[in-house]
């Protein structure tokens, strides 16, 4: 089974939305994980709201710090705005998505970010 790890700084917005889409779209055929370099206390409430609008509930997920176990469990690591704080392990496929951080953004902007993430996740899953 292929695996994808979505990483961002706080694991509260972008990476959680990406993981939510990937779980929904992969039909349990791909291991989906997410993490952050400096995890927040909870998921961004606006990210939860915009995902619920399209029928995906990410409210039960908790931001977590990435670790070696997460990194070693996957084939692909998708980074989103964490720059040098994201880990690098030789032999893994890395993809960087330069996405805006939804933190503090208005609802319409978070919807735009959500839709961009969906498009990128769909493309990535088609490549696996």
Catalytic option among 17, 77, 86, 113: 86
Q: Annotated catalytic, 82?
A: yes
Rounded to 10 deg, the angle between the 14-26 and 45-52 helix axes is 30
Q: From its phi and psi, is residue 47 left (phi > 0), alpha (psi between -120 and 50) or beta?
A: alpha
Helix (H, G, I), strand (E, B), or coil: what is residue 55? coil
Dihedral (CA of 23, 84, 91, 89) sign: negative
Contacts of 118 (CB under 8 A, 6+ apart): 21
Beta-sheet strands, E only, within the chain: 2-8, 30-36, 76-80, 93-96
Q: Annotated catalytic, 3?
A: no
Q: Annotated catalytic, 8?
A: yes
Catalytic option among 19, 77, 82, 99: 82
Catalytic option among 8, 9, 50, 110: 8
- Compute the radius of gyration of the chain from its Cα atoms: 13
Active-site annotation, residues: 8, 82, 86
């Amino acid at each position: 089974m292929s695996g994808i790890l979505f990483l961002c700084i706080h694991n509260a917005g972008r990476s959680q939305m990406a993981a939510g889409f990937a779980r929904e779209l992969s039909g349990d055929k791909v291991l989906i994980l997410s993490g952050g370099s400096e995890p927040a206390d909870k998921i961004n409430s606006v990210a939860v709201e915009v995902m619920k609008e399209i029928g995906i509930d990410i409210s039960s997920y908790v931001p977590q710090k990435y670790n070696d176990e997460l990194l070693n469990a996957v084939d692909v690591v998708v980074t989103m705005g964490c720059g040098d704080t994201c880990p690098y392990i030789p032999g893994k496929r890395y993809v960087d998505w330069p996405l805006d951080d939804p933190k503090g953004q208005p609802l319409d902007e978070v919807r735009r970010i959500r839709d961009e993430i969906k498009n990128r996740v769909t493309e990535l899953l088609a490549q696996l």
